[in-house]
Amino acid sequence: MAKLKKHTKKSRAQIKKYDVDLNIELKSSQNQLIAFALAIVSAVFALYYVIYAAKANGYFGFPLDDPWIHLTFARNFSEYFSFSFYKNEMVTAGSTSPIYTFLISIAFFVTKNEFILSYIFGILFFAGAVYTFYKLSECDFGKEYIYVIFIVLIFAIDKWLNFISVSGMETTMFIFILIMTAYFYKKRNAVLFAVFLGLIIWTRPDGVAFIAALVFDYMIVLYLSKKDKKIVLFSKRDLARIGIIAGIFVTVYFVMNLMLSGSLLPNTYNAKLTYYNPGHRSRSEFFKNEVWKYFTSGSYLIIMTGFLISALITLKDFFRKIYNPNLLYIGFTVVLILIYYIKLPYAHRFGRYLMPVIPFLILSSGLGIRDIAKILARYFKSKNAAIVIITVILSITAVYSFTDYLDKRKNYADECKYINDRQVAAALWINQNTKESDIIATHDVGAIGYYSGRKLIDVAGLVTPELIDKIHLPDYNKYMMEYLKNQGVSYLVFLQEWYRVSNSNPLFSTAETLPPETMEIYRFEPGKTLILNTETKSRIMYCMDLIARQNFDQAINLLKQGLVNEPNSALIYFIISICHIHKNDLQNAEINLRKSLEIFPEYKYALGQLGLLQKENGNFQEAKALFEKYLKVNPGDVKVQEYLKAVNDSLQKK
């Protein structure tokens, strides 16, 4: 027995000898200086995106339409003290993040520039998140400041977090609150933990994933504390405080939503759950493309590798009944992805809904890399070799992250232009070309709501909640048209990919100048304007792809099947005619163009195309009439003016 004890002591001594110990003694002032420096670095990096995009585009912008939803609610709250989407009307719980909206409403008293205040909030919360992330990393790494600095630097230059920090969204505030909650949880500061715990739900409803992870983590802590007396717990008094304080925050949040919209959660939650229903989106594709592919591209591949190592070590510790600080981070990551996988298999543009897990992926990955390095040190019996391995891995990750960051700046500028050329341009057209009393129907209520100055009907339900339950009805288009008629809607503002309009000429369109998504504005004339059903809209989109691949016969057959559901669509007959033109079957092309014009005599595209056919056939008189009718609808078309002149010249020669 004595020999066994002696051997055990010797083995432990050898293990300790080869432990990778990167502890560094730093003064408190030095530590604070490093944390502040990293926070400033993040602010500078985020600001650079704004400067780069403004220089490239010539204006400020957002890469998403959603920021203007917050801004519209905030502006109305500051001006009318009403949580409404149009002046002091349309009072509704249409903001996913009411606390962010309230903060912006206060800032409106300082500046009315929507971009400056949005950028400031996004960058400040990002910098605050970086500073707090440094403090949270200290909790897990202790005095191993080399790890801490590398990990926080990778967080500060992350491509997507810099991108989203200047996108006008609440994401960086959400991340800041999550990190603060984790920090005070680990410090067992009951009051501040309770405050930030309560703020989570005010920031985003999916914050419930972090709350679930916290509950699970603390249950494990309670269980393990029976054997490990070093584990620090909240006292019973602390738990009571946490319950009361966080409970007040959550209760007020639910009461506010009930008063505004009659539901516990915001309209946006129910609307998006309905529109992106799992029955209409592939869960497997969500996991493959929006989770796995997203988190294994670029520098994330190294981070994900470290995270998986960390997860395996945490699982091993779990079975050995050893508490691992990674449990909270891994739990949150898994639960958040699982919630979206089950309820809403959609990460939104740029993976925005899953971005809150990024700091925890990075921290957990760093812990995994450190732990595997210690194992390697023991295996190779060399501290220096392990230190070199760690330094190389973290350095490569940091360099790779910086490269990703630089690559993403152009993407940010391009996306800002993309939104400006569609949503903002449409909003300004509405503002300049319609009456203040006109009511607009759209599915993108952000920029259009903010800049148009008009009352909106949101056919996607975010700020018109009574439509939410109807969105996935097979005949929602019919219900919608009747609803818009009863509401006195004057104009439609739709992306073709969302809703397709027939039997009406677009007053504004990006079809010829800004593919792929096409924003269009139509005059809504009940009984004449036709909004196609979802199945027909999807069929047309698929057929346009077939036409691009020159599969004209297949497209014609599918479009003819579409006429069964929508027999009075001038658009479908027109697209069929285009297929026949490509096949050089001009006779059938003319037949379908004339059918299109029977349904909608002022259809400019059919008028122009039939005019060209008649011109080529030498029927100049009819071509002239068709071109003249076209120009009454679209007088600024220079090309058709030239066609008309050529036809008139031909008639004069006769």
For position 266, what pLDDT does the model report? 79
Please tell me the pTM assigned to this model: 0.91
Average pLDDT in the 399-423 region? 95
For the cut 50, the answer to whether the pLDDT of residue 14 exceeds it is: no
For the cut 90, the answer to whether the pLDDT of residue 432 exceeds it is: yes
**Choice among 171-185, 375-389, 396-410 with the minimum mean pLDDT:** 375-389
Distance CA 563, CA 75 (A): 46
Average pLDDT in the 518-540 region? 94
SS3 of residue 91 by DSSP: strand
- The one-letter amino acid code at 519 reads M
Residue 439 pLDDT level (bands cut at 50, 70, 90): very high
Residue 274 pLDDT level (bands cut at 50, 70, 90): low
For position 85, what pLDDT does the model report? 86
Q: What is the mean pLDDT of the chain?
A: 89
For position 11, what pLDDT does the model report? 39
**456 phi, psi to nearest 5 deg:** -115, 150
Average pLDDT in the 609-634 region? 91
Say what percent of the chain tops pLDDT 90.
68
Q: What are the extents of the domains in the chain? A: 17-416
For the cut 60, the answer to whether the pLDDT of residue 109 exceeds it is: yes
Cβ-based neighbours of 258, under 8 Å, separated by 6 or more:
264
Distance CA 484, CA 439 (A): 9
For the cut 60, the answer to whether the pLDDT of residue 279 exceeds it is: no
For the cut 60, the answer to whether the pLDDT of residue 1 exceeds it is: no
For position 654, what pLDDT does the model report? 63
Query: How open is the CA angle 639-644-648, to the nearest 5 degrees?
Result: 150
CA 568 to chain centre: 36
CA 337 to chain centre: 15
Query: How open is the CA angle 495-500-504, to the nearest 5 degrees?
Result: 105
Please answer whether residues 450 and 427 qualify as being in contact, where contact means their C-beta atoms are separated by less than 8 angstroms: yes
For the cut 50, the answer to whether the pLDDT of residue 457 exceeds it is: yes
For the cut 50, the answer to whether the pLDDT of residue 9 exceeds it is: no
Average pLDDT in the 122-140 region? 96
Secondary-structure breakdown of the chain: helix, strand, coil percentages, each rounded to the nearest 5 = 70, 5, 25
Average pLDDT in the 186-212 region? 95
Q: Residues 437, 441, 445, 448: is their CA dihedral positive or negative?
A: negative
For position 269, what pLDDT does the model report? 65
SS3 of residue 154 by DSSP: helix
SS3 per-residue string spanning 275-323: HCCHHHCCHHHHHHHHHHHHHHCCCHHHHHHHHHHHHHHHHHHHHCCCC
For position 84, what pLDDT does the model report? 86
Distance CA 58, CA 75 (A): 25
**Residue 493 bridge partners (DSSP):** 442, 521
**Residue 439 bridge partners (DSSP):** 455, 489
Residue 441 pLDDT level (bands cut at 50, 70, 90): very high
Q: Residues 220, 224, 230, 234: is their CA dihedral positive or negative?
A: positive
Cβ-based neighbours of 126, under 8 Å, separated by 6 or more:
42, 43, 46, 161, 162, 165, 172, 175, 176
- The one-letter amino acid code at 350 reads F
Residue 3 pLDDT level (bands cut at 50, 70, 90): very low
**If we measure between CA atoms, which residue out of 571, 626, 631, 564 comes closest to residue 599?**
571
Please answer whether residues 441 and 484 qualify as being in contact, where contact means their C-beta atoms are separated by less than 8 angstroms: yes
- The one-letter amino acid code at 367 reads L
Average pLDDT in the 527-539 region? 93
Distance CA 309, CA 364 (A): 9
- The one-letter amino acid code at 647 reads V
For position 21, what pLDDT does the model report? 61
Sequential DSSP letters for 525-574: -TTT-EEPPHHHHHHHHHHHHHHHTT-HHHHHHHHHHHHHH-TT-HHHHH
Based on C-alpha coordinates, what's the Rg of the chain?
30
For the cut 50, the answer to whether the pLDDT of residue 253 exceeds it is: yes
**Choice among 136-145, 557-566, 599-608 with the minimum mean pLDDT:** 136-145
Say what percent of the chain tops pLDDT 70.
93
Q: Which two tokens stand for residue 560?
A: 């003819």
- The packing angle between helices 171-186 and 358-380, to 10°, is 50
For position 271, what pLDDT does the model report? 66
SS3 of residue 77 by DSSP: helix
pLDDT tens figures, 155-177: 999 999 999 999 999 999 999 99
For the cut 80, the answer to whether the pLDDT of residue 277 exceeds it is: no
Residue 230 pLDDT level (bands cut at 50, 70, 90): confident
Residue 275 pLDDT level (bands cut at 50, 70, 90): low
Sequential DSSP letters for 22-36: ------HHHHHHHHH
State the alpha helices, DSSP H only, in 349-445. Answer: 358-380, 383-419, 425-433
Q: Which two tokens stand for residue 164?
A: 């989203």
**If we measure between CA atoms, which residue out of 240, 204, 11 comes closest to residue 99?**
204
For the cut 90, the answer to whether the pLDDT of residue 305 exceeds it is: yes
Average pLDDT in the 120-145 region? 94
**452 phi, psi to nearest 5 deg:** -75, -30
For the cut 80, the answer to whether the pLDDT of residue 6 exceeds it is: no
Distance CA 455, CA 468 (A): 18
Distance CA 524, CA 459 (A): 14
For the cut 90, the answer to whether the pLDDT of residue 147 exceeds it is: no
Residue 2 pLDDT level (bands cut at 50, 70, 90): very low
Query: How open is the CA angle 197-355-211, to the nearest 5 degrees?
Result: 25
SS3 per-residue string spanning 405-420: HHHHHHHHHHHHHHHH
Please answer whether residues 339 and 206 qualify as being in contact, where contact means their C-beta atoms are separated by less than 8 angstroms: yes
Average pLDDT in the 18-40 region? 79
Please answer whether residues 330 and 314 qualify as being in contact, where contact means their C-beta atoms are separated by less than 8 angstroms: yes
Residue 13 pLDDT level (bands cut at 50, 70, 90): very low
pLDDT tens figures, 488-524: 999 999 999 899 999 999 999 998 776 678 999 999 9
**How many Cα atoms are found within 13 Å in the side-chain-facing hemisphere of 220?**
21
**Choice among 150-164, 463-477, 546-560 with the minimum mean pLDDT:** 463-477
Residue 30 pLDDT level (bands cut at 50, 70, 90): confident
Average pLDDT in the 110-117 region? 94
Residue with tokens 């070093």: 230
Cβ-based neighbours of 16, under 8 Å, separated by 6 or more:
none
